Structure 1
Amino acid sequence: MKKIIPILLCLFFLTDGVAYAHVLRVGARWQFQIIQAALNASLKGDTILVGPGIYKEKNIVVNKSLVLIGDHYPILDGEHQFEIISVKADNVTIKGFKLIHSAISSLVDIAGIKVYTRKGVTIANNILEGTFFGIYLEKSAGCLIENNKVTAYAKTDQQSGNGIHCWQCDSIRIIGNAITGHRDGIYFEFVTNSVIWRNKSINNSRYGLHFMFSHNDAYISNIFQSNNAGVSVMFSHTVKMFNNYFEDNWGDGCYGIFLKEITDSYILGNKFLRNTMGISMEGSNRVVVENNEFSKNGWALKVDASCLDDTIRRNNFLGNSFDISTNGTLVVNCFDHNYWDKYEGYDLNKDKIGDIPYHPVSMFSMIVAQNPTAMILFRSVMATLFDKIEKILPGITPEIVDRYPYMKALKI
């Protein structure tokens, strides 16, 4: 009998756990017509299934660990007055909703879905349109934001927040989302050990991606296209930037990536296509730029004199107006084994490496860097003359030299 009692107690607690995990339905034909009423009646571990329709419930607060699922994308309307969903419990899942018309505020960061200091939250397969901030994580960890479509229509930065915003977070996964029309598509500030993978951040009014004080993160296989300023990674270390596309970021002060005060980071396997600047680097140290393609940019790479111990190798430079530009005379960085389509050297020993070094900084690019209006002379006889002088007297330009230039473009 003594041996049977512990077994019976275990069975009781297991049965008790299953008994309280059930489905609550919301909709015209079900027991609940209001989502918040179902939330209030639910218990930890329950699933709330919301049927099709338009729900105007002001601010919906989720304060229990449960699953909230929309059937055929029910519409949650914030009526331009409210934050739509506020998550205030751990281990919450929100899937399958269309959220529209959150409030706009210059004092409070109002979002379509906002997570307040929580862990293990999943936000997936939702559509957000016309929200101030789209999805906002505050002091949260171990969360997943996946396959959401986040769109804003504001005409000024003051009327639009960021599409996916993370502040003081850790171990966040942002996967497969599409963000457009926001101020910054994705924003990280004080975020660590997190990954941004396979997202599309297009036509945002400022940055496609904005990093601030965020370390040990990676963004991989994303598309950043036609954003007003491109991508900015600032005051961070150990950032991995792999296999992304940076496309069509044109305009004054636009770039594929702007790096400022970055250390011990990697830019590998990316494509920089048709940007004003492919990469602009300021105060960036021990950064490896390898196996990237720079094609049809204004400037492929701008390296400020404050950059030290950076390595630029095995990249393709194709059809750029200027390949390399700098504002200093002494450059303490390594350039080697790149392919430069402007290289006019030869390979007598047939080892696929040019026999004479290549100086990628042209004299005319230095003039334009100091006097932008000189760009009017681009492709003129005068510009050609400057470049010929530089080849005869290479000491005129900064000592940036690729001593082992490839004769053919690399496969990247």
Structure 2
Amino acid sequence: MKILFLAYFFSLSLLCQAKTLSVGRNQPLKSIKAALEQSADGDTIIVTGGIYREGRILINKQITLIGKNFPTLDGQHKSEVISINADNVVLQGFKIVNSGHAALEDPCGVRVYDKNYVVIKDNILDNNFFGIYIQNGKNCIIKNNTIRAYGKQEQLIGNGIHCWKSENLQIIANKISGHRDGIYFEFVTNSVIWRNISFKNIRYGLHFMFSNDDAYITNVFKNNGAGVAVMFTKNVKMFNNYFEENWGDSAYGLLLKEIADSYIFNNRFSKNTSGIYMEGTSRIKVEKNVFSSNGWGMKIQASCMDNEIVNNNYLKNTFDISTNGSLVLNTFNSNYWDKYEGYDLDKNGVGDVPYHPLSLFAVLTESSPPTMLLYRSFMITLLDKSEKVLPSITPDNFIDNTPLMKSLPL
């Protein structure tokens, strides 16, 4: 109890001693670096509008740095713009532009070095190699930033928000475009990605690697090179996201590779080459999602097992489901398929005849892509109808025994 009282007293005394420093053309201090030299832990530095070309700005004290009217911090294509090397730092209200470009050093608009409880919010980051980089951080918040770059090749640009070996991060309501990956997680745990818009990035809107026990919720991933990739990961929750217009030869809304024990719920997959591409996945529940106007609703490779696909809507896809093998180790239950031609005599809302969502043409296209030239031909339609009556190539147990007669109101 005595120790808690002393800690409280010490924190209160620091708060009482804290001061506010002002930087600007008409202020006592003309540079941010000068204000940082005069500051102490707990202080606030307010920077008024203007352009500040001060090279790399190192924050190594527990301060709050606030910009008024978005003062511009210009790296002049030479260096990292802001380096944070202290806990409990707040960075808010700046326009941070023109970091250096170097593949070995990864210069950033803002970088956090092995620190905790850092808040980066309400900033504009423009034309930086990496936007915001959290390295070995804990309990950090990246919120309501606009992060844009103009990369043309993924080797020549970094990621918008890059997080490595961190935990308990909150990535909230950011807009990211023009980077290699919009958001990148590697060895990041117990973190949330919420209400972000990641669009027109060269590779992925979001890229997960070796990052367990995370959630991404209510984000928009649109018109990226290959959508979203979640790899070598377990216990991920993916709720209420939009995967839209991710087109390309090897593109998809969502790639799942070597992941397990995860939940994909109430997402929208629209106008992607493949809505979901699954490879080496196990114990994934895909529930109450909408797959609409995709080339393939889902591609489920033969290496996938114990996945449950239940209560989803499949609407206007060229192919609802595709696979590259004959062994079926996943279950399909109570989905709505707009291609289902069965009947419901007892009027219980469930088709009386099971549905085989894997068409013969989907199997042929998987093994020989040039057969797409025959799409919508009379011969292919005849083959598909014959296959449904007397299955010979498609697996018998690739089946939804309880197909819904009406789409779910998702």
Partner residue of 1:135? 132
Query: If the length of structure 1 is used for normalisation, what is the TM-score?
Result: 0.96
Once the two structures are TM-superposed, the CA of residue 381 in structure 1 deviates from its matched residue by: 1.0
> Which secondary structure state, in structure 1, belongs to the residue aligned with residue 28 of structure 2?
coil
% identity of equivalent residues? 55
Displacement of 1:16 after TM fit? 4.2
* Aligned residue type for 1:405: P
CA distance in 2, matches of 1:252, 1:203: 16
Q: Match for residue 36 of structure 1?
A: 33
Supply the distance in 2 between the matched residues of 1:247 and 1:13 (Cα, whole angstroms). 52
Deviation at 1:156, TM superposition (A): 1.5
1:203-218 pair list within 5 angstroms = 203-218=200-215
Residue in 1 that maps onto 2:64: 67
Correspondence for 1:200: 197
Counterpart for residue 3 of structure 2? none
Find out whether 1:373 has 2:370 as its counterpart.
Answer: yes
Residue 407 of structure 1 and its aligned partner are, at CA, apart by 0.2
CA deviation vs aligned residue, 1:128-182 (integer Å, no higher than 9, x gap) = 0000000000000000000000000122212210000000000000000000000
Q: Distance between the aligned counterparts of 2:298 and 2:248, measured in 1?
A: 16
Runs of 4+ displaced beyond 4 Å: 9-16
Q: How many Å separate the matches in 2 of 1:12 and 1:397?
A: 73
Q: For 1:345 and 1:69, how far apart are their aligned partners in 2?
A: 63
Residue 167 of structure 1 corresponds to which residue in structure 2?
164
- Establish whether residue 345 from structure 1 lines up as the match of residue 342 from structure 2: yes
CA-to-aligned-CA distance 1:51-73 (integer Å, 9 cap, x gap): 11000000000000110000000
The separation in 2 between residues aligned to 1:210 and 1:13, in whole angstroms, is: 42
Q: How does 1:291-310 map to 2 (within 5 A)?
A: 291-310=288-307
Q: What CA distance in whole angstroms lies between the structure 1 residues aligned with 2:144 and 2:135?
A: 20
Q: 2:52 aligns with which of 41, 44, 55?
A: 55
Q: Distance in 2 between matches of 1:408 and 1:376?
A: 32
Letter in 2 for 1:411: P
CA distance in 2, matches of 1:67, 1:192: 27
Structure 2 match to 1:358:
355
1:394 aligns to what SS in structure 2? coil
Cα distance, 1:13 vs structure 2: 6.2
**Count of paired positions:** 404
Q: Is the 8 A contact 1:76 1:99 kept in 2?
A: yes
Q: 1:12 to 1:132 in 2, by over 3 A?
A: closer
Per-residue deviation, 1:396: 2.2
Distance in 2 separating the partners of 1:26 and 1:295: 53
Q: Distance in 2 between matches of 1:21 and 1:114?
A: 25
SS of the residue corresponding to residue 286 of structure 1 reads: strand
Report the residue type matching 1:201 in the other structure.
Answer: S
Determine which of 97, 102, 110 is the counterpart of 1:113: 110
1:406 partnered with 2:399: no
> Counterparts of 1:19 and 1:42 in 2: how far apart (Å)?
14
Q: Which of 332, 345, 356 is the aligned partner of 1:335? A: 332
CA distance in 2, matches of 1:376, 1:409: 31
Measure the CA separation in 2 of the matches of 1:275 and 1:15: 55
Contact 1:359 1:394 in 2 (8 A): no
Residue from 267, 271, 278 that aligns with 1:270? 267
- In the alignment, is the contact (CA less than 8 A) between 2:186 and 2:209 conserved in 1? yes
Give yes or no for contact 2:123–2:146 (8 Å, CA) kept in 1: yes
- What is the CA distance between 1:17 and its match in structure 2? 2.7
RMSD value, Cα: 1.4
How far apart, CA to CA, are the structure 2 residues paired with 1:10 and 1:378? 72
- How far apart, in 2, do the equivalents of 1:159 and 1:323 lie? 37
Residues 350 and 99 from structure 1, CA distance in 2 versus in 1: closer, same or farther, beyond 3 angstroms? same
Shift of residue 389, structure 1, vs aligned partner: 1.6
- Residues 360 and 44 (structure 1), Cα distance of their counterparts in 2 relative to 1, 3 Å cut: same
- 3-state DSSP class of the match of 2:404? coil
- The letter of the residue matching 1:72 is N
SS for the counterpart of 2:307 is strand
Matched to 2:311, the amino acid is R
**Does structure 1 residue 21 correspond to structure 2 residue 18?**
yes
Q: Which residue in 2 is equivalent to 1:104?
A: 101
**Secondary structure, aligned partner of 2:54:** coil
Partners of 1:19 and 1:26 lie apart in 2 by 22
Letter in 1 for 2:242: Y
Distance in 1 (alpha carbons) for counterparts of 2:15 and 2:104: 44
Aligned mates of 1:18, 1:106 — CA distance in 2: 41
The CA distance in 1 between the partners of 2:8 and 2:399, in whole Å, is 74
Q: 1:389 aligns with which of 386, 390, 400?
A: 386
Question: Where does structure 1 lack aligned partners over 5 or more consecutive residues?
Answer: 1-8
Which structure 2 residue ranges, 5 or more long, are not aligned?
1-5
**For the Cα contact (< 8 Å) 2:14–2:42, is it kept in 1?**
no
Distance in 1 (alpha carbons) for counterparts of 2:8 and 2:378 = 89
Question: How many angstroms does 1:393 deviate by?
Answer: 1.3
CA deviation profile, 1:12-71 (whole Å, cap 9, x unmatched): 968743442110000111121110110111010000000110000000000001100000
1:175 corresponds to which letter in structure 2?
Answer: I
Closer, same or farther: CA 71–327 of 1 in aligned 2, 3 Å = same
1:56–1:408 Cα change, 3 Å:
same
- Is 2:78–2:100's contact at 8 Å kept on the other side of the alignment? yes
Alpha-carbon separation, structure 1, partners of 2:164 and 2:40: 29
